[in-house]
Amino acid sequence: MDRQQLATLLECGSDHEWTAVFVVRNDISLIASNTVAEKLLVLNDYRASNHSSFEKEWIPHICAAIKQMGDSVNVQKETISIKGVESILYFLSITKNVTASNEKAQERNLLNMIEHTYDGLVMVDKDGYVQVFSQAYADFIEINQAESIGKHVTEVIPNTRMHIVAKSGVEETAQLQKVGNNYIIVTRTPMYQDEKLVGAVGKLLFKNIGQFTALFRRLNALEKEVRKYKGEFRDRNKASYSFQHLIGESRAFVDVIEEAKKAARGQATILLLGESGTGKELFAHSIHQASSRSMGVFVKVNCAAIPNDLLEAELFGYEEGSFTGAKKGGKLGKFEMADGGTIFLDEIGELPLHMQVKLLRVLQEREVERVGGLTTKSVDVRVVAATNQSLQTLVEKGEFRLDLYYRLNVIELKIPALRDRKADIEPLVHFLLAKYEAILGVTSKGVDSQTMHLLTNYQFPGNIRELENIVERALTLMNPGDWFTPTYLPKELKRKQGHCADIRPLATQLEHAEKEAIVQSLKNAKGNKSEAAKQLGIGRTTLYEKLAKHQLP
């Protein structure tokens, strides 16, 4: 074998399986393949050895090093003659262990990940000895990372409980731990392998309590904000009245209140009928408050106030991008908002026909479909509807669907007009007077009998709303502390009842007439008091007394 052949032999082998050849001549020379040289980097050391120590010490040493790398090795020895010189060839047939090297690579990746992902991480075995310690953690507590491995964790981390968790198997979440002058927040999790406790992993969540407090404050602020919005939503969508706010003692009124209280107990749809201003909305609020849904929201929809093309989106909501101008994230419809509560559909007679069909479906299926949506959502809502129109007439005219009318009219409550329950007028006037005195910050002596008489006999086409306006107007025009006299009633009301002049108490009118007569007679007598007394047919002393009484000069 010449040098060239030997060189080829030395460098043979593939990536996964390669052969290292060592040639020992005359006890002193050594040649190894480059592959082995690169891998073991100890070639020069072999060169210095002799044949006997090479075989006894270095071959086992090289084999051990190869095995430690996870590969397997097989040694063969052959005696050959190279250019007449006897030499010994050692063939090391090395097989790379792919699995082992993959595992090594995975381990390296994992450690790499730990270094880059976690702020601080420590892993101990079941006896509390450190197996892994991330650089960030080491930097934070100012220790040498490499030196920490293998030490007992209590020697590395002050006030640690890692060794306790590794023994107890009980997780400790978000615990405060003092490190130097700082408080840190850590989580210690026991580690199991084949259901056996093998150690624990500790994670540093916050490097100082300040970070945690800042996060905690932020969370608190967000929570407050959510509570505020929830509160605002509930405030805007809550029933503000209950039956005790409804004033009236007439038989007709008391009867309808009783019916409404019974209806409130169930879940059936209620239709409130009555002229405008009779208190239908107040009834709807009160029914919700007296029902089992009182903890839920009360959502009011005025069907007459919403433009036709917006009505569907308003009632059932819409999905994002369902039309130009649709809000990002879509919008909740009133039915969804009222889930668990009551929806009050005021002026239901104004609902356009195409929407009546959709409403009918919701009432039947108890499901809503958002505009632009592909799915339906079930809602648990009680419906209370109201109208001042005759739905039957609308049905006859083809403006209201008969099927919807029946769906709504499960329980019908008719609220009588104020003129049909005159006994309610007086208590209502007193109630409204007190209400508006408080609102306007004024006081009055009360309502005189003439005014009450006029009010009781008035027809009130606008019902209680009209009475409310009359009382507010009077209190605004009156001097503080005055009586509510007919002077402060609207002319229209007095005219309709043939009441042409203000009627004031007789004594007041007599006083006023006396003062007028005195002023007139003094004018006629050009200030001569004796002459004026003569004209008036009274004595001078009496005239002087009356001048003083009326504070005339």
Ligand X SMILES: Nc1ncnc2c1ncn2[C@@H]1O[C@H](COP(=O)(O)OP(=O)(O)OP(=O)(O)O)[C@@H](O)[C@H]1O
Q: Which residue is nearest to ligand X (CB)?
A: 279
- Going by C-beta distance under 8 Å and a sequence separation of 6 or more, which residues neighbour residue 246? 253, 257, 279, 282, 283, 286
Quick one: which of 150, 109, 112, 124 has its CA closest to 202? 124
Region from 169-177, 225-233, 278-286, 352-360 binding ligand X, contact rule CB under 6 A? 278-286
DSSP code of 171?
-
| Rounded Cα distance, 428 and 414, in Å | 19
Least CB distance from residue 274 to ligand X, whole Å? 5
Contacts of 360-364 spanning 24+ positions with Cβ under 8 A: 360/401, 360/403, 360/404, 360/407, 362/316, 362/335, 363/269, 363/404, 363/407, 363/408, 364/407
Question: Near ligand X by CB under 6 A, which window of 110-118, 175-183, 242-250, 353-361?
Answer: 242-250
Nearer to ligand X, 175 or 388 (CB): 388
Pick the closer one to ligand X by CB: 92 or 246. Answer: 246
Exactly one of 97, 168, 175, 276 binds ligand X (CB under 6 A); that residue is 276
Footprint (CB under 6 A) of ligand X, residues 343-402: 346, 388
Answer for which of 280, 288, 331, 334 binds ligand X (CB under 6 A) is 280
Minimum distance from CB of 341 to ligand X (Å)?
A: 19
Distance separating alpha carbons of residues 48 and 293, to the nearest angstrom: 96
CA distance 41 to 38: 5
Residue from 277, 317, 349, 416 binding ligand X (CB under 6 A): 277
Between 285 and 331, whose beta carbon lies closer to ligand X?
285
The Cβ of residue 325 has, within 10 Å, a number of other Cβ atoms equal to 4
Is residue 281 close enough to count as binding ligand X by CB under 6 A? Answer: yes
Q: Which of residues 463-502 bind ligand X (CB under 6 A)?
A: 464-465, 468
CA atoms within 13 A on the CB side of 381: 31
Please give the size of the binding site for ligand X, defined by CB under 6 A.
16
The CA–CA distances, whole Å, from 186 to 160, 173, 202, 467 equal 10, 7, 7, 69
Q: Which of residues 176-215 bind ligand X (CB under 6 A)?
A: none
Residues 149, 42: Cα–Cα separation, whole Å: 28
Give the Cα separation of 146 and 230 in Å (integer). Answer: 53
- Contacting residue, 35, 278, 291, 451, with ligand X by CB under 6 A: 278
State which residue, 297 or 386, has the beta carbon closest to ligand X: 386
**In this chain, which of 122, 246, 315, 385 binds ligand X, going by CB under 6 A?**
246
Q: The tokens of 64 are what?
A: 């051990």
CB of 350 to ligand X, least distance (A): 11
Residues that bind ligand X (CB under 6 A): 246-248, 274, 276-282, 346, 388, 464-465, 468
